[in-house]
Structure 1
Amino acid sequence: MNQTIETILNHRSIRNFKDQALTEEQVIQIVEAAQMASTSSYIQAYSIIGIENKETKAKLAELSGNQPYVEKNGHFFVFCADLYRHTIAADMEKTDIKPAIETTEKFMVAVIDASLAAQNAAIASESIGLGMCYIGGLRNEIEKVSELLQLPNYVIPLFGMAVGVPDAETDQKPRFPVESIYYKESYPTDRQAIMKDLVTYNQTISAYYSDRTNGERKDSWTEQMTRMLSTPRRTQIKDFVQGKGFLKS
């Protein structure tokens, strides 16, 4: 096993950081690593906004549901789906591209591009001894986040990433067994087999929480997911995304 795979397999979310800002060199290394992620048709449909200002971090923490690690970290990155610069390119070339970039397909391309770049950034951060945590909570108040960051049409804030020097080690949550994720040739049609795998995974997750909390928490994965998905969340996002020019067709 090489060092890159070891770094990936050692991943865990870090939510406690030392009061130590990233250096400019570290920030640029992380961004350059993000840029080298694969991108559909060379479109590079994303932007990364770095947040250093303490007041801006505090506001983002509030909008994210008062998550303290959004405010207290070495550097905060916001990853955006971005097709705005492509409208400028089209103006330069005197071409109308709106019917294309307003499709669901191009929205998916932008989201995928940004996600691939973010994962490169995450691995780069961890490879130089830093910790990180994705912040989907930015979408709790996505319109206010967009206004705070002055995002134009065709730019959507997807998620944040808190990066910094870890102040405490955290346990690694067990993932699904490989055979529950990787299927050969086609998706399995045997629901009972999938259910059996979930029962086994539930036991693993319950034991994990029990060990971490001295028996105070023992909920299973299916209990967590059912509880979370029983109520729709962030239902305002569709209107916001369409208002930004996406998902017109």
Structure 2
Amino acid sequence: MNNVIELILNHRSVRSFQDRALTKEEIETIVKSAQAASTSSFIQAYSIIGVTDAEKKKLLAEIVGNQAYVAENGHFFVFCADLYRHETIGAMEKRDVIPAIESTEKFMVALIDAALAAQNAAIAAESMGLGICYIGGIRNNLEAVTSLLKTPDRVIPLFGLAVGHPDKINEKKPRLPLEHVYHENEYEQNGEIYKGQLEEYNQIVSNYYFERTGGRRDDTWTSQIAQMLERQSRMYMKQFVQDKKLDLR
């Protein structure tokens, strides 16, 4: 096993950072690493907004649910799906690109491009001894986020990435069994096998929580996820995306 694989397999979210800003060189290295990610048809349909203004970081921390580490970190990145750039390209080249830009396919391309770039950024940051935490909570109120970050139509902030020098390292959470995630040739649909893998994972997760909390918590993964999915959240998203002139066709 090489150092890169060890780094990837050792990932854990960091939610407590030292009061130490990233250097300009560190920020540029992370962004350049993000840009080196694969991109569908060279379209590069994403942008990254670095938030350094303390008041804006404080407001973002409130939007995501009063998570202090959104305001207190070395640097806060916001990854955006971005097809505004491509609307501009159409005008420059006098081509009718709007039907493509407003298609579900190109919206999916923008989401995938942004996610691939972000994961490159995360791995680069961790390789530099930094900690990271993805922040999906910015989608709690995208109207407020887009106003705060002044993003135009055809640009949607997707998630944040808090990066910094770790003050505290959490334990690594166990992932689903490999055989439950990786299927060969066709999707495993044997109900008994499928449920059995989930039951096995439930025991692993329950033990993890029990040991981590000194016996105060021992819930299973399926109970945790079912409870989360039962609560409808961010149900405004489809309309918001369409109002931003994306995913209309």
TM-score exceeds 0.5: yes
Q: Distance in 2 between matches of 1:169 and 1:64?
A: 22
Paired residue for 2:82? 82
Q: Distance in 2 between matches of 1:75 and 1:45?
A: 23
Paired residue type of 1:69: Y
Deviations 1:116-136 (A, max 9, x none): 000000000000000000000
Q: Secondary structure at the match of 2:22?
A: coil
Q: Distance in 1 between matches of 2:2 and 2:33?
A: 18
Q: Distance in 2 between matches of 1:99 and 1:194?
A: 41
Mind listing any 5+ residue stretches in structure 1 that lack a counterpart? Answer: none
Q: Distance in 1 between matches of 2:109 and 2:191?
A: 32
Mind listing any 5+ residue stretches in structure 2 that lack a counterpart? Answer: none
> Percentage identity across aligned positions?
57
Alpha-carbon offset, residue 231 of structure 1:
2.0
Deviations 1:101-120 (A, max 9, x none): 10111100000000000000
Paired residue for 1:178? 178
Paired residue type of 1:211: E
Paired residue type of 1:115: A
What is the number of equivalent residue pairs in this alignment?
A: 249
| TM-score with structure 2 setting the length | 0.99
- Structure 1's consecutive aligned runs of 4 or more residues displaced over 4 angstroms after TM superposition are none
Q: Distance in 2 between matches of 1:207 and 1:58?
A: 36
Which range moves more in the overlay, 94-103 or 129-138? 94-103
Paired residue for 1:220? 220
Paired residue type of 2:135: I
Is 1:35 aligned to residue 58 of structure 2? Answer: no
Paired residue for 1:46? 46
Paired residue for 1:57? 57
Which range moves more in the overlay, 68-77 or 91-100? 91-100
Paired residue for 1:73? 73
Q: Distance in 1 between matches of 2:191 and 2:40?
A: 34
Q: Distance in 1 between matches of 2:191 and 2:103?
A: 34
Q: Secondary structure at the match of 2:163?
A: strand
Alpha-carbon offset, residue 240 of structure 1:
0.7
CA-based RMSD of the aligned residues comes to 0.6
Paired residue for 1:147? 147
